[in-house]
Structure 1
Amino acid sequence: MENKFSFGFQPYDDLPFSELYKYLGDSVMIDICTIFVCIFGLVANGIILRLLGFCTKRNPFTTYILNLTVSDFGFLLFLLHINIFVRIRNVLMPSYDLYTDILLNLLLLTHSSCQFLLTFISIDRCVAVFFPDWYCCHRSPNLPTALCAFIWVLLFLLCGIQLILFFTGADEYFDLTVYQYFVIACICLPLMTIATLTLFIKVSFKLQRHQRGKLLIVILLILLFSLLFSFLTNALSIAIYFNVVFDHLLDYMFLCGSLKSSINLLFFLLVGRWKVHRFQENAKVILQRVFKEEEPQHTIQTEL
């Protein structure tokens, strides 16, 4: 049983040998690129996890970043597993079973959690910039933890229900993954787009140069690049759902997803070292410098 969001794991028996050879060759090249990106992203997100989890003093906002890093790490881990083991097995012995469905549902879970967290992060930064006094005085320090816990519980519950539907055969009639993509495409992406563009305009044209903290710049870069790859990933997912004929849709979707989840550390390092002449600093010092600006961000005064 294969639902529409099984990401197109299909046998290749109906293709002529010449077309099959070319198709698999192109697919393997894209998969190799995705695998290298996933490995890099796992190392990068692992560094952020270690530093934020054990080596850096946390504040309410870093809770969002920590959970986002966990989501990205999980997404890349499941995607790497799919690209290596499931792909090889699919070529040698085409099949679609419960194990594959578990992996794909976990992949969707981590992808969805990334989108929800990025939406909350974009809204949080907008509130911090536009209403700094209210943000400083009235924001609950436990709100990020509560929101992150709610996201994980909800998504794990949906994932478990979807697996039960698959196991009982009811997924042919009722597919929860459709609603997850609907929420991401129609709620999360529009909210994140509005918040990110508003924040970009504010940072570019309203805030004075000395008020543009490094943390704000890092978050804005993460949001802009995440928006780009999220639109591409969701557009390709919708194309797969509606059976649009285009070679390597699945491969390109996985590549876009891996890029989106692998670039955060680069932004932290690049922005954290900007205008700093000590080139021997390690990632811990750079992250501490970036997140140290979280407190001053509360006192940003807007230009009228």
Structure 2
Amino acid sequence: MCPGGGSEAPPELYSRGFLTWEQLSALPPPAVVSYIFLLLCACGLVGNALVLWFFGFCIKRSPFSVYFLHLAAADAGYLASKALLALLGAGGLRGPPADYVRAVCRLAGLCALVTSVSLLPALAAERCACVTLPAWFWRRRPARLSAVVCALLWGCALLLTGLHNYFCAVLGPGAAACGHVDAFLGILLFLVLCPLMVLPCLVLVLHVECRARRRQRSAKLNHVVLATVSVFLVCSIYLGIDWFLFWVFQIPAPFPEYVTDLCLCVNGSAKPVVYFLAGRDKGQRLWEPLRVVFQRALRDGAELGEAGGGGGGGPTANTVALEMQCAPGNAS
């Protein structure tokens, strides 16, 4: 209340940031939104768990499967944090224990989000190097480059999350340092990482177009990388608009928090669907083992043939034989 006993003073508006410490909109999310979050996160967690199982234990490790494996781990962490937040919201739980769980979930969600976004430029750049420099990629590339890059990106995400937690949670969301960290995260995600993932994708698009003109079959892996990056760009547009309007024009976020979070949950849940759709073979039977489908999504026979000097028609037979070997219980 105001000192004179009048109406309540309007709350000071902060940037919603990436941990949503302060709400810019007074409109609370509808009750049904929590159940939508739970359903979407449950489906996404099942899909990413399948990707972790098949890419980690059932499919031969490749430079690109390592990235997809870490992407699935990061997306699963983000979806799990949002599922717990939705569960607390649906149950109406309050008190210090629930607040502590919320703080941990937001912290883990930010770390997983930063890791997932930073993995996409690394994946796109490595795929671009494979397409443009196949001889170097398959013969001189360090064997554990993908694992080292993923470990470094996880470490950087943990460092940024720790700094954001200190300046925004310990010092408070109204501190000037919290605003600086939020601005840095926005610049990193939208002005640095997004262009870094778009430029290699443009090279892949040109490569796919050139192959189409030469009537050569493009590797499915190209389409998987392009679709994965495209899904993120589409799903993150609302968060990008919120951040851009606030930090450039000082305009409060036009979209409620649950809209941007829902789009990011769609991004985390859509990647297994992308792998499944890319790996399906329309000429095969309706039901195929998931191991064969995921293996086909990573098909890179065209580039392997070019690096080894093979022709354009050989990879199809080889990949079919590989898929037959991957099928469980197949002795023929």
Number of the residue aligned with 1:252? 259
Aligned in 2, Cα 1:118/1:44: closer, same or farther, shift over 3 Å?
Answer: same
- Provide, for residues 4-36 of structure 1, a one-character-per-residue CA deviation record: whole Å limited to 9, x for no partner: 324265499xx7xxxxxxx55x63344433332
Alignment gaps of 5+ in structure 1: 16-22
Q: Distance in 2 between matches of 1:48 and 1:138?
A: 29
Q: What is the CA distance between 1:294 and its match in structure 2?
A: 3.4
- 1:257-296 aligned within 5 A: 257-291=264-298, 293-294=299-300, 296=302
Equivalent pair of 1:8/1:250 in contact (CA under 8 Å)? no
Q: What is the CA distance between 1:245 and its match in structure 2?
A: 5.2
Number of the residue aligned with 1:75? 78
Number of the residue aligned with 1:107? 109
Aligned in 2, Cα 1:125/1:287: closer, same or farther, shift over 3 Å?
Answer: same
Q: Distance in 2 between matches of 1:166 and 1:129?
A: 42
CA radius of gyration, larger in: 2
Number of the residue aligned with 1:138? 140
Moved more, 31-40 or 74-83: 31-40
Q: Which has the higher contact order (CA 8 A, sep 6+)?
A: 1
TM-score (norm 2): 0.76
Q: What is the CA distance between 1:167 and its match in structure 2?
A: 5.5
Aligned in 2, Cα 1:44/1:295: closer, same or farther, shift over 3 Å?
Answer: same
Work out the number of aligned pairs and report it: 287
Query: Counterpart of 1:212 in structure 2: which amino acid?
Result: S
Q: Does 1:174 align with 2:187?
A: no
Percent identity among equivalent residues?
Answer: 22
Equivalent pair of 1:135/1:298 in contact (CA under 8 Å)? no
Moved more, 49-58 or 176-185: 176-185
Equivalent pair of 1:225/1:260 in contact (CA under 8 Å)? yes
Q: Over aligned residues, Cα RMSD in angstroms?
A: 3.1
Number of the residue aligned with 2:190? 185
Q: Distance in 1 between matches of 2:246 and 2:258?
A: 11
Equivalent pair of 2:24/2:253 in contact (CA under 8 Å)? no
Query: Counterpart of 1:202 in structure 2: which amino acid?
Result: H
Query: Counterpart of 2:51 in structure 1: which amino acid?
Result: I
Q: Does 1:62 align with 2:75?
A: no
Alignment gaps of 5+ in structure 2: 1-12, 308-332
Higher helix share: 1
Equivalent pair of 1:236/1:249 in contact (CA under 8 Å)? no
TM-score (norm 1): 0.82
Query: Counterpart of 1:163 in structure 2: which amino acid?
Result: N
Moved over 6 A (4+): none
